[in-house]
């Protein structure tokens, strides 16, 4: 799915910048602080599960990623991504009809985190 950079919401004290291969996120200093919201809509409005494949490389610190509903409430578990993790993770959402986007936040107790988000793919879950 092409990333619509102009639709990304940047939170206070954070930086979201375009990159030739996606977009860069720099979080704020505060632990747990939200950094960016990316609208991610399933093509289906019916209840059902989807799998999101996120290609994201953490360059500094630790990033939390979660799918959220319209009120920015988590739909399922938050995924933790560190410098040592593979650049591709899977996030599952049981209720694609409620999914409105993806939240990125700082999980580093040592200050700002930085990541490059390259791609996001949505597919129906086979489980």
Q: What is the pTM of this model?
A: 0.87
Domain definitions of the chain by residue range: 5-124
pLDDT at 31: 95
- CB of 97 closer than 8 Å to CB of 45: yes
Mind listing the pLDDT tens digit for each residue in 66-113?
Answer: 999 888 888 888 999 999 988 888 888 888 888 888 999 999 999 999
pLDDT at 83: 93
Burial class (CB in 10 A: 0-12, 13-18, 19+), 60: middle
Does 46 score more than 70 pLDDT?
Answer: no
CATH architecture of 5-124: Sandwich (2.60)
Mind listing the pLDDT tens digit for each residue in 1-23?
Answer: 555 666 888 898 999 998 898 89
pLDDT at 30: 95
- Other C-beta atoms lying within 10 Å of the C-beta of residue 77: 10
- CB of 80 closer than 8 Å to CB of 62: yes
Query: What does the DSSP assignment read for 74-116?
Result: BSSPPEEEETTS-SEEEEEES-TTT--EEEEEE--TTS--EEE
Does 50 score more than 80 pLDDT?
Answer: yes
Please indicate whether residue 43 or residue 60 has the higher confidence score (pLDDT). 60
Average pLDDT over residues 29-40: 92
Look at the alpha carbons of 27, 70, 117, 4 in this order and tell me if their dihedral is positive or negative: negative
pLDDT at 44: 54
pLDDT at 126: 76
Helix (H, G, I), strand (E, B) or coil at 21: coil
* Residue (of 94, 3, 21, 10) closest to 57 by Cα position: 21
């Amino acid at each position: 799915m092409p990333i619509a950079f102009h639709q990304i919401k940047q939170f206070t004290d954070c930086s979201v910048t375009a990159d030739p291969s996606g977009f860069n996120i720099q979080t704020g200093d505060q632990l747990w602080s939200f950094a960016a919201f990316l609208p991610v809509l399933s093509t289906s409005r019916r209840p059902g599960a989807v799998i999101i494949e996120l290609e994201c490389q953490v360059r500094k610190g630790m990033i939390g990623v979660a799918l959220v509903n319209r009120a920015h409430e988590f739909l399922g578990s938050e995924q933790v991504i560190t410098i040592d993790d593979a650049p591709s993770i899977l996030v599952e959402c049981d209720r694609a009809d409620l999914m409105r986007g993806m939240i990125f936040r700082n999980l580093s107790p040592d200050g700002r985190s930085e990541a490059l988000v390259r791609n996001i793919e949505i597919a129906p879950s086979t489980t």
